Homo-oligomer: A and B are copies of this chain.
Amino acid sequence: MTQKLKGIIPPLLTPLTDDFNLDVLALHRLIEHLVQGGVHGVFILGTTGEATGLKYDVRQEIIKETCSAAKDRIPVMVGITDTSVGESLKLANFAKEHGAKAVVAAPPYYFNLGQQELSEYYEDLATCLPLPLYLYNMPGLTKVHIDANTAIKLSKNPNIIGLKDSSANTVYFQSLIHGIQREDFGLFVGPEEITAETVLMGGDGGVNGGANLFPRLYVELYQASLSRDFPRMVQLQKQVMEVARMLYNIGKYGSSYLKGLKGAASLLGLCNPYLAPPFKHFKEAEMETISKNLDTIKINMEKIGLSGNTEHYV
């Protein structure tokens, strides 16, 4: 990790078989798709990867297979978020062993922690880890927010090298950009809708779910934002917004993001639509909507010089 990581780091979907084991072939295909799509790294076992819903042996298999598939072409970051620090460390050691470059940890998500407790938790964790750590702020799911002051304090720990923020709150993100005094500290956002604007303002990139489907779109958006190519950025941003609107809001509940993303991935031939419990994949009605929407998306992507197909990658 001698050089700061930047760019588009898709939070990898976890391809599953219908008994919730890893679909190894699909995982390799998906990694190939992303590498060909130009992504700058891959983040496994995150929220989009449904990590918390998987058995631990499946989590280990994902680490092993992803590192093997990535073959040093792109760095692999491994989610080790857990309520048990012992299980986090086990995964981290396994990740180190198989060649991952960094680990990522959201706050332990059962108990409510005070900021002081959270800070001590991360300091202790960073001390024990065999790999550098990215903080992961995901308050909507963990309940625990990594306050700006806490993050700024933690950024002084050399083993902590970045933060991924999925709060969607860019006042918070601005506070980090301006409050953290370390050039080599990476600041990423989760929601793809705001990758462009945060990169314009000094952010380092996006950990964007949609990049599983259309990596080139997000990579080009990142590049256009970085080079302040506004005409191109506007085209691409519009397309990213369409993906979010047309794929992530089918059906009810917060799970529509995951179900829509995986449903679309299955229609694109990337993997099965199966989700790990507690969720179930979309039924026919929703899949039909997604299919129709994917057609629209593909047509619009071609209009801006991008392919919505995946065949040429895989």
Contact = CB atoms under 8 A, between A and B. Distances in A.
B111 A109 contact: no
Interface stretch (A27-35, A48-56, A60-68): A48-56
B171 A194 contact: yes
A126 interface: no
Nearest to A190: B171
Interface in A132-163: 140-143
Contacts of A47: 110
Interface residues of A, number: 65
Contact of A112 (B114, B140, B169, B245): B140
Instruction: Give the number of copies in the complex.
Output: 4
A56 B87 contact: yes
Given A113-B255, A238-B178, A278-B111, A84 B52 contact: yes
A175 interface: yes
Contacts of A54: 84, 86
A280 interface: yes
8 contacts: A53-B84, A55-B86, A84-B276, A109-B110, A110-B141, A111-B141, A111-B278, A168-B172
